[in-house]
Structure formats: structure tokens, C-alpha cells
Structure 1
Amino acid sequence: MASPTSILSLLLLLLLLLLVTAAVSAAAAIRIYPREHVVRAEGDPRCESWKFAVEVNAAGSWKTVPRPCIEFVREYFNGHRYLSDSRAVANYSLTFANSVKVGKDHGRDAWVFDVDETLLSNLPYYRANGFGSKPFNDTSFNEWVNTGSAPPLPMSLRLYKKLKSLGFKIFLLTGRGESQRVVTQQNLLQAGYSGWEKLILRGPYDEGKKATVYKSEKRAELVKQGYIIQGNSGDQWSDLMGFALAKRSFKLPNSMYYIP
């Protein structure tokens, strides 16, 4: 029978072997996944902070994605994070929509949607044009719009259809010009959207107005017509701010461009 001293020595030896094995494993892990690799996989903290500032409207007016963050933005929109963040916004929107007693105001419950980067996604255009690394180009963007080939943002399409089934009156309020009405309508229908009450585009008297002013004025017209704007969805703060505000506004992610 082994003495207590021998048993204690054996336990200490086993403990030492376990510690050495753990240290070797950790060293191997460090070699396989160096610290800089882990940071890249999680995202550059500087660019995460920049994107956060953009989304909460703390970054102010900006014209291009900062050069160190171009790859970060590319990976964000090409990966799963963009769809995941869009899904989260859609889910919160639907939670609120389900809380509204639609119909008690004689069918005047309205929901306003922006179009670009809200219902339709222009990622094919931005993939070919640097993901916001260059200043916005009206000419090339309008050429893209006129192809009428923008796909739907999947989570917004799901939300849109659910809002229709709940009985909301849906209004589409876009910064696109009146000359693009036909191609915009066709693109929306092709993408799966239908049954909206009105598609509102910039007319001759809206030219030169900042988006916040233009969209506020159009919302005010809806309010004067007796509609109650319960929800408003857009990818820019200028889609959501100003006056004649919705009871709840929901911002979708967009760190590719800024519209005042």
C-alpha cells in the first residue's frame, strides 16, 4: 500500500503534466491564430467605432469611407453582418407594428418606407464602385437606377409583406426624381413589392432641398390628409428626422454614403 507521501507526490506530478500540456496547447494556438489575426476576424476596432458613430448620427457629414476602413466596409456588406443587422431592425419594426391596433382610425394607419438601401439594395452598383471609397457620382448612379435591376433587401421585403397583411397603408418616399418613376415602379414590382398607396418622388419644386426638408414636407402632406404615420423606415437619418415624425422610426444600417 502506497504511503500518503507517495500519493501526494504522484498527484503533484499529474498536476504539473496537466499545466505543461495546457501551456503547450496555448502556445500552439498562438502560433496558429496570432493576435493580429483574431483582431481582423472580429473587425478593426477603429472602423467598428467609426461605423457606430455613423449609425448613431454622431459622425456628422462625411463624403467617403475613411481609407483605412474601405476593406472593413466591403467585408461588412459582403458578409453576414449586414443581413443580420437588417434582420434585427426588421424584427424590432415588426414588434412595434404588432402592437398597433390597426384599423381603429378608419384605415389611416400609415408606414413610410425609403427606397434605396431600404427596400431596394444597390450593392451591385457599390461593389463595382468601391463601397463608398469614392465621392457619390450622380451620373453613374442614375445610370444604374435606370437599369431597373436593384434586388430587394430580403428582410425589408419580409417586413413590407407583413405590414400589408396587418392592414397598414404603405407610402414609398424616395429622393429619386420624378423622371425615374416608371423604372422605379417596375424595379419595385420585379423585386416583389406591390400594393403601396403612393410612390412619392422629387418633383420640380423639390429640387435643391435637403433630404430632411423634402421628406418632412411630404410626410406633413400625408398627415394633413388624415394619415397617422405609425412607422418610418430608412437607411439615412435624413429619412427619419425633421418634422411630421412617425410614432416610431427605424434606421437600417448604411456606412457607404451619407445624405443630409
Structure 2
Amino acid sequence: MVFLRYALFLCLVSMAFCQESMDVEFNLLPRPLIIEYPETRLSNITEELKMQCTSWRVAGESNNLAPWKTIPTECAEYVEEYMLGRAYNFDLETVSKEARLYAKTLKLGDDGMDAWVFDIDETLLSNLPYYSDHGFGLEVFDCAQFDRWVLEGVAPVIRPSLKLYKDVIGLGIKIILLTGRSEDKRNVTISNLMDAGYLKWDKLILRGEEDEGKSAAAFKSEKRKEMMDEGYRIIGNYGDQWSDLAGTSVASRSFKLSNPMYFIP
């Protein structure tokens, strides 16, 4: 009987230590990723409308929509929440990461003529402060108003793009900046870029008088052809509009950043 009681005591002690050990091991296991999102302004929008606006945005990013001048009125809050929330930044980070991985796989030529083309607006610099005052694309674009904003020279950096820019420079690839901004904004553009952390490039190409009236796609295609005629190999292109990337004389690989606020043909 004494032996049985002693054996039972040892069994209970063993079970207690075993349970304690299991608890310790369990606590050391990685926790599942749990993200709690705060309530947003979209709480009053129906799930059906959210899905419709998401579908519209995806169609726009895939270049499946006809040219449009403003965002759909019913999607105003959706676009605002997307641009100011975490999703937009996640999308920027994803594209930047993929572009950086691609750049690091490239075998560069010995002549130093490998080039990467960057757009500027909504690519290197963000005009979100301007568009937040103009309905995030709900208003018809006003060139005069936008020019006044550009001349302030305070557009903030898009940080995932700055990461890519620095990696591309570090790899020895030449940087070419190709923008639809007009030539008279060269100085303020240079100042704004440098304030944002973009300190050097091989070329900064803006619209000259001879480019007035050309679509963005035609203008940028022509400039890419001129680069290639000079001997550059455009191994990467990075922009927020399809007109930055498509057309003729395209890059070996292009990367499209999200921008549901406006469309430039």
C-alpha cells in the first residue's frame, strides 16, 4: 500500500512537471499573425459598394478601363481610405521589393550604359497633399491649380521608391528621370527631388515646347527611343501610369505602381 501511494505521488509530480514543461514550450512557439484594424470611415459603406469600388480600382490598375477623367462619385470615400490607409503603402512596398529583386539578378554590360527609367509624380514624389484637397481624384484635373502646387516644391518622398532608387544606384545602373512636367519646372523639380533624398541621376527629361500637345505615351515613347539611339539599354522602367511604361521602345521589364486617383493617356 505504501508503495502504491509513493508511486501515485511520483506520477502526479511527473504530470505536473510535464504540464509545466509543455506550457513553457507552448509559450515559446511563434504566435499567429493577428492584425487588428481600427474602425475606418468606410464603416458606413456597404460591402457591395466596397466590392464594386475594389473591382473598379483593379480594372484601372490592369489598364482595362476606358480613359476616365474622375473617379466614380460613389467610390470617393473608398479611394480616400485606400490612399490614406495601409493598403496603398503595402502595394508600393510590394512593387518596390519585386523591382529590387529583379535589379539584383541582372548581368550588366561593361560599358556602363544600362539604365533604369523613373517617372516622378506618384512614383518618386507624392502629390497626395494636393489630391487630398481635391477629392482624391473626384474633381476634374485643373492644370493651373496643380502647377501652383508643383511650384511650391514640397511634394513628399515615396519611401519604397527611394529604396529602389538607392539599390539601383548601388548596382551601378544609370538613373534617367522622365517626367511629364514642363521644362520651366526644372529647377523646382530638382530642388524637390534632392530635398526628398534623390541626389543624383544621369538625365532629367522634361517636356519641352516641341512636346506640347503630345500624349504622355507618345512623348515618353519618343524619349525612350532617343535614349536607345544614344546607346542606353533600358533594363527597368518604374511609373504609376501605363503611359509611363507602354508604347514603343519599352524597357526590358516595367513596374506599375498603384494610382487610382487619376489616369493619364
1:139 to 102, 121, 144: 144
- Shift of residue 39, structure 1, vs aligned partner: 7.7
- Shift of residue 95, structure 1, vs aligned partner: 1.2
Q: After the TM superposition, which parts of structure 1 deviate over 2 Å for at least 4 consecutive aligned residues?
A: 36-43
Task: List per-residue Cα deviations over 1:33-68 (Å, max 9, x = no partner).
Answer: 9xx959868980000000000000001200000011
1:79 to 56, 68, 85: 85
1:214 to 210, 213, 219: 219
SS of equivalent to 1:229? strand
What is the CA–CA distance in structure 1 between the aligned matches of 2:120 and 2:99, rounded to whole Å? 16
Tell me, yes or no, if structure 1 residue 230 matches structure 2 residue 235: yes
Paired letter, 1:99: T
Paired letter, 1:112: V
Structure 1 pair 250/45, CA: closer, same or farther in 2 (3 Å)?
same
Task: List per-residue Cα deviations over 1:160-193 (Å, max 9, x = no partner).
Answer: 0111001110000000000000000000000000
Tell me, yes or no, if structure 1 residue 191 matches structure 2 residue 196: yes
- Shift of residue 129, structure 1, vs aligned partner: 1.0
Give the total of aligned pairs: 225
2:157 to 152, 159, 179: 152
Tell me, yes or no, if structure 1 residue 53 matches structure 2 residue 59: yes
SS of equivalent to 1:44? helix
The TM-score with structure 2 as length reference comes to: 0.82
Structure 2: gaps spanning 5 or more residues: 1-38
What is the CA–CA distance in structure 1 between the aligned matches of 2:155 and 2:104, rounded to whole Å? 29
- Shift of residue 105, structure 1, vs aligned partner: 3.8
Task: List per-residue Cα deviations over 1:79-112 (Å, max 9, x = no partner).
Answer: 001110000000111111011112x241111000
SS of equivalent to 1:110? strand
What is the CA–CA distance in structure 1 between the aligned matches of 2:60 and 2:194, rounded to whole Å? 31
1:106 to 105, 111, 115: 111
Tell me, yes or no, if structure 1 residue 181 matches structure 2 residue 193: no
Paired letter, 1:93: A
Percentage identity across aligned positions? 52
The TM-score with structure 1 as length reference comes to: 0.84
Q: What is the root-mean-square deviation in Å for CA atoms of aligned residues?
A: 1.8
Query: Equivalences for 1:120-135 in 2 at 5 Å?
Result: 120-135=125-140
Structure 1: gaps spanning 5 or more residues: 1-32
